Amino acid sequence: MKNDIIKEQRKDIRDNFLNNFFLPLRQQYEKDINKYRAIFPIKETDISEQLAEVKNIFAFKETIS
């Protein structure tokens, strides 16, 4: 009984989030997708895999960066 109440509350929170925040935001994004593509024109074909170079600087046995 208590678990059913908790599940229902979680479902209400999830549905509220989806219907009042996430879905409207996504619909607005999809409506303006051409604007975002123009702002960020990099295509997936332009991206190539590259090994990352990592440099660590140590001072007093702690990592600074």
pLDDT by position in tens, the chain (length 65): 889 999 999 999 999 999 999 999 999 999 999 998 888 877 777 888 888 888 877 666 665 55
- Taking the model in full, what pTM does it have? 0.51
pLDDT score recorded for residue 43: 78
**CA atoms in the 13 A half-sphere facing the CB of 64:** 4
Structural domains counted in the chain: 1
**Could you tell me the residue range of the domain that residue 54 belongs to?**
2-63
